[in-house]
Chains A and B, each alone.
Chain A
Amino acid sequence: MEPTKMASPKSAPKDAQVMAQILKDMGITEYEPRVINQMLEFAYRYVTTILEDAKIYSSHAKKSSVDADDVRLAIQCRTDQSFTSPPPRDFLLDIARQKNQTPLPLIKPYSGPRLPPDRYCLTAPNYRLKSLQKKVSSSAGRITVPRLSVGAVSSRPSTPTLGTPSAQTVSVSTKVGTPVSLTGQRFTVQIPSSQAAVKSATPTTPTVQNVLINPSLIGPKNILITTNMVSSQNTSNESNPLKRKHEDDDDYDNL
């Protein structure tokens, strides 16, 4: 938008005229016309906040009416909260003197990308995906992995795979130990992380890559089955990685 001169004074309300005069006094000659509205809004909001605070202070001090001291206190408290100003000069000189006394640290050679400790970086994953495994029906070998209790079906596909909490509730409710024979349909196996809490997250992360493709595969025909990882999880975990490799290949084929 082009900055234009202010709106003609005769059509603007008195407050707007005052604000335009203030801007002129402060030496601001070019501004968009909406600036006056924004400034007026700010002024209104600021004054009402201060007066509300002042009312609270005056009632706390059991005074009958709000007086100048209450307003002054309200302003002071709000200034510390919202309109903080940079630290004063002598404070800065002091901390500068302290910081500048330590010698510059030596640089370790051959240390790869020089980044702060991981805690201070933004490089950690901020999500945790459930690994979705595609099972192509037939091979009986796979069925030996004891899992399967059929969980909620239709509503699931619409939620993203980040819906960990709901998965957990589902698995809890259907924690039936009985293995169910597989149907010929394709289904995905969901390993809820609730069982082994966070620790299972790390073993599942290697499978994260294949999961990346899987969300798109959640179609209406897929039945999501939650596994009951009570006792056999440990054994199944070792056997799983091998088995998962095959499943991944199938996934790529079926894409």
Chain B
Amino acid sequence: DRQTLVAVLQFLRRSNLRESEEILRREARLLGDDLGAAALSPTGTGLLGTAGGDADSAGENALLSRVTAAATVVIGGTAAAVASSSPGVAAVAAVPPGKGVVEDQPDVSAVLSAYNQQGDPTLYEEYYSGLKHFIECSLDCHRAELSQLFYPLFVHMYLELVYNQHESEAKSFFERFHGDQECYYQDDLRVLSSLTKKEHMKGNETMLDFRTSKFVLRISRDSYQLLKRHLQEKQNNQIWNIVQEHLYIDIFDGMPRSKQQIDAMVGSLAGEAKREANKAKVFFGLLKEPEFDVPLDDEDEEGENEEGKPKKKKPKKDSVGSKSKKQDPNAPPQNRIPLPELKDSDKLDKVMNMKEAARRVRLGPECLPSICFYTFLNAYQGLTAVDITDDSSMIVGGFADSTVRVWSVTPKKLRSVKTAADLSLIDKESDDVLERIMDEKTASELKILYGHSGPVYGTSFSPDRNYLLSCSEDGTVRLWSLQTFTCLVGYKGHNYPVWDTQFSPYGYYFVSGGHDRVARLWATDHYQPLRIFAGHLADVTCTRFHPNSNYIATGSADRTVRLWDVLNGNCVRIFTGHKGPIHSLAFSPNGRFLATGATDGRVLLWDIGHGLMVGELKGHTDTIYALRFSRDGEILASGSMDNTVRLWDAVKAFEDLETDDFTTATGHINLPENSQDLLLGTYMTKSTPVVHLHFTRRNLLLAAGAYSSQ
């Protein structure tokens, strides 16, 4: 280490970077006392902050974090930090960045380059084919597990060659081995094939994240021993180094997994999920609803129940018909996150809801729902988002021409509130004041809302039907009032396209996810987000609230689904298994299960409590954009680009789950091949991809899509 430090200082002196040399000298003396990595990271992040606005910052940060990750390069870390500040010093002049020059110096390149040269680049092909040969000759039971190594090793070796500017070797390496990879990695490989120079990697945040994060593999102990023994033989030491640096091998004791089991779980950009990532406790139960009698005459009986009780949400000890007085152990405490109080209009709404629920159709394999399809005509492929209110009274469409259009589904037209002058004239004491405030002159079936400056990719009604959210490619989320049909607020935070947004089931909070790879939690009365959920490697394409509003599920283009805790922003679950970007998520009404749909045409079912995949529904042939559980969770409906709506039996899919300790400890899953049994019906549209699904309160299924003529 001392030697490398001296080498770096020499180099700096040679290149006349006096100040950098001084800084390094000073830091080296400081760090000489305390060689812990802990001391390094504050300095690292401190310099990171200063170099943040730098032109090279993307590359530098990757460089820095890569180097700090390795234990031996404490000094290398400071040197790299210095190298990042020296481009800042010599920015404008046409001097190549420090790291480019450094790599020519053989004595320091091993320390300062982001990818250590693991031996001769021309021998990479030898190393790889050697490993391939070994794995193919191993025992069957181990082969499937060890084959997981191919893809990450291939990508990392290729990126290393590109980064160190061995373009021709990289190309021939790619040519020779890219055909061996699994079919579900083909999209990634195509992106990789276009990255042939180091400059191409700058600005591609997903690739940079891939380089700096560790690819997780889950291998049984026996297979791992086999691999380790083979790689630690002398000639294969290079690959062993690469494995140690870039891969995280999660070892479990037990039977090696079969190819089928592995295939079900792999596919994401970061490998699988570590077992401890899915061990945190998740409160998946529902919050207690306040008790109401379904009154015969509305107002009076409610008043009796709640007289003298200021806190409406406390479970009433003497309430009639309250079934479980005990707290559900899986439900979060009522005040875990602050939720808005119930207003009178909300209570009326709930009463309506309960009345409708009493008339709800019980669905099942013998009693399938009727489907009512709303086709958007003349949209010319411009329909990008649809939402329907909970009571199915309004439907909103977000379009590529940046408009948001609201229609009334019922015969009752959409009216806006009267102007201030007229409002002062009405009789405020009359019973039907809520009708009187509406201006009849503005009644119409359709209201168009203008304001965005880019296609609208997500829309969401608030549960009380007063507000509408829309998010767009212009990076803002807009809140519209459905009483005046004007825009109230524009929430700016994402500076990149926002792909999805949703109101919380209790209103007040909403979540948005976009191209900047984070999801944000907002409240309508704060102009900045309350929580930032960062961790995905690629765009966040889909965001949904859990029914108890304490958790948020995000699906991403890195093919993982993550569950985040609203209270502290932690990621509590990572679900891998999809082979394409995820476009739809649906929580079951009881809060225990999550269904996800992606571009690979599969619907995967997850048990949130245990963190395991419990089902796979195959049948669709194209991206699934819509998923919805029926009101009591008996049927799962899925709508896709292949112009079909399919109904699946959710009760059967979730019954008799094997949740013995063996399964949860090792994460082995044994998915039954029962997609055909679970499929209850396939309904084809003429040529309309299904964009949205919604079960009314009486379990009628509404579907929406735009007619596309091919």
Q: Cα distance A72–B96 when bound, in Å?
A: 9
Establish whether residues B58 and A70, one from each chain, have CB atoms under 8 Å apart when the complex forms. Answer: no
Contacts of B94 in A (CB 8 A): 57, 61, 69-70, 72-73
B336 to A, closest residue via Cβ: A104
Q: Cα distance A237–B517 when bound, in Å?
A: 57
Q: Is there a chain A Cβ closer than 8 Å to B594's Cβ?
A: no
Contacts of A86 in B (CB 8 A): 205, 495-496, 515-517
Q: Cα distance A69–B92 when bound, in Å?
A: 11
Q: Cα distance A84–B190 when bound, in Å?
A: 23
Total number of residue pairs linking A and B with CB closer than 8 Å? 140
Q: Which of A118-126, A129-137, A175-183, A214-222 contacts B (4 or more CB under 8 A)?
A: A118-126
Establish whether residues B567 and A92, one from each chain, have CB atoms under 8 Å apart when the complex forms. Answer: no
Contacts of B193 in A (CB 8 A): 25
Q: Cα distance A189–B534 when bound, in Å?
A: 60
Contacts of B55 in A (CB 8 A): 76-77, 79-80
Q: Is there a chain A Cβ closer than 8 Å to B533's Cβ?
A: yes
Q: Cα distance A94–B534 when bound, in Å?
A: 9
The 8 A CB mask of A1-18 against B (1 = contact, 0 = none) is 011000000000000000
Establish whether residues A122 and B488, one from each chain, have CB atoms under 8 Å apart when the complex forms. Answer: yes
Establish whether residues B525 and A115, one from each chain, have CB atoms under 8 Å apart when the complex forms. Answer: yes
Contacts of A38 in B (CB 8 A): none
Q: Cα distance A123–B527 when bound, in Å?
A: 14
A63 to B, closest residue via Cβ: B94
Q: Is there a chain B Cβ closer than 8 Å to A95's Cβ?
A: yes
Q: Is there a chain B Cβ closer than 8 Å to A184's Cβ?
A: no
Q: Is there a chain A Cβ closer than 8 Å to B431's Cβ?
A: no
In the assembled complex, how far is the CB of residue A59 from the closest CB belonging to chain B, in whole angstroms? Answer: 13
Contacts of A121 in B (CB 8 A): 488-489
**Which residues between 187 and 238 of chain A lie within 8 Å of chain B, taking CB atoms?**
209
Q: Is there a chain B Cβ closer than 8 Å to A255's Cβ?
A: no
In the assembled complex, how far is the CB of residue B568 from the closest CB belonging to chain A, in whole angstroms? Answer: 6
A93 to B, closest residue via Cβ: B534
Contacts of A140 in B (CB 8 A): none
Residue among A76, A89, A106, A117 with max Cβ neighbours from chain B (10 Å): A89
**Which residues between 68 and 104 of chain A lie within 8 Å of chain B, taking CB atoms?**
69-70, 72-73, 75-77, 79-80, 83-97, 99-100, 102, 104
Q: Is there a chain B Cβ closer than 8 Å to A141's Cβ?
A: no
Q: Cα distance A77–B56 when bound, in Å?
A: 11
Contacts of A25 in B (CB 8 A): 193-194
Q: Is there a chain B Cβ closer than 8 Å to A165's Cβ?
A: no
Q: Is there a chain B Cβ closer than 8 Å to A45's Cβ?
A: no
A61, A96, A102: the one contacting B534 at CB < 8 Å is: A96
Q: Is there a chain B Cβ closer than 8 Å to A242's Cβ?
A: no
Contacts of A107 in B (CB 8 A): 338-341, 508
Q: Cα distance A109–B164 when bound, in Å?
A: 60
Q: Is there a chain A Cβ closer than 8 Å to B57's Cβ?
A: yes
The 8 A CB mask of B11-49 against A (1 = contact, 0 = none) is 000000000000000000000000000000000010010
A22 to B, closest residue via Cβ: B194
Establish whether residues B569 and A89, one from each chain, have CB atoms under 8 Å apart when the complex forms. Answer: no
A109 to B, closest residue via Cβ: B341
B484 to A, closest residue via Cβ: A123
Q: Is there a chain A Cβ closer than 8 Å to B613's Cβ?
A: no
Contacts of B535 in A (CB 8 A): 93
**What is the total number of residues of chain B having a CB less than 8 Å from a CB of chain A?**
69
The 8 A CB mask of B558-575 against A (1 = contact, 0 = none) is 000000001111100000
Q: Is there a chain A Cβ closer than 8 Å to B523's Cβ?
A: yes
A210 to B, closest residue via Cβ: B421
Contacts of B58 in A (CB 8 A): 85, 88
Q: Is there a chain A Cβ closer than 8 Å to B61's Cβ?
A: yes
A122 to B, closest residue via Cβ: B487
The 8 A CB mask of B184-195 against A (1 = contact, 0 = none) is 000100100110
Q: Cα distance A88–B61 when bound, in Å?
A: 8
Establish whether residues B530 and A105, one from each chain, have CB atoms under 8 Å apart when the complex forms. Answer: yes
A61 to B, closest residue via Cβ: B94
Q: A76-B55, A90-B61, A93-B534 are in contact. Are A114 and B525 (CB under 8 A)?
A: yes
**Which residues between 102 and 145 of chain B lie within 8 Å of chain A, taking CB atoms?**
none
A92 to B, closest residue via Cβ: B534
In the assembled complex, how far is the CB of residue A219 from the closest CB belonging to chain B, in whole angstroms? Answer: 24
Establish whether residues B489 and A120, one from each chain, have CB atoms under 8 Å apart when the complex forms. Answer: yes
Contacts of A80 in B (CB 8 A): 55
Q: Cα distance A47–B456 when bound, in Å?
A: 31
Establish whether residues B337 and A104, one from each chain, have CB atoms under 8 Å apart when the complex forms. Answer: yes
Q: A88-B62, A122-B487 are in contact. Are A96 and B338 (CB under 8 A)?
A: no
Contacts of B568 in A (CB 8 A): 100
Establish whether residues B531 and A100, one from each chain, have CB atoms under 8 Å apart when the complex forms. Answer: yes
Establish whether residues A100 and B208, one from each chain, have CB atoms under 8 Å apart when the complex forms. Answer: no
Q: Is there a chain A Cβ closer than 8 Å to B209's Cβ?
A: yes
Contacts of A88 in B (CB 8 A): 57-58, 61-62, 205, 208-209
Q: Is there a chain A Cβ closer than 8 Å to B331's Cβ?
A: no
In the assembled complex, how far is the CB of residue A95 from the closest CB belonging to chain B, in whole angstroms? Answer: 6
Contacts of B48 in A (CB 8 A): 90-91
The 24 listed contacts between A and B (C-beta, < 8 Å) are: A61-B93, A72-B96, A77-B55, A85-B58, A86-B495, A88-B57, A88-B205, A88-B208, A89-B537, A92-B517, A92-B518, A97-B569, A99-B569, A104-B337, A104-B530, A104-B531, A107-B338, A114-B508, A114-B523, A116-B489, A116-B524, A121-B489, A122-B451, A209-B420
Q: Give residues in B with beta carbon < 8 Å to A.
A: 45, 48, 52, 55, 57-58, 61-62, 65, 93-94, 96, 187, 190, 193-194, 199, 202-205, 208-209, 212-213, 337-341, 419-421, 451, 466, 479, 481, 486-490, 495-496, 508, 515-518, 523-527, 529-535, 537, 566-570, 709-710
Q: Give residues in A with beta carbon < 8 Å to B.
A: 2-3, 25-27, 57, 61, 69-70, 72-73, 75-77, 79-80, 83-97, 99-100, 102, 104-107, 109-110, 113-117, 120-123, 209
Beyond A96-B518, A114-B524, list 20 extra A-B contacts (CB 8 Å).
A2-B710, A25-B193, A25-B194, A73-B94, A79-B203, A83-B203, A86-B515, A87-B516, A88-B57, A88-B61, A88-B209, A89-B213, A92-B516, A95-B532, A97-B569, A100-B532, A100-B568, A113-B488, A114-B340, A114-B523
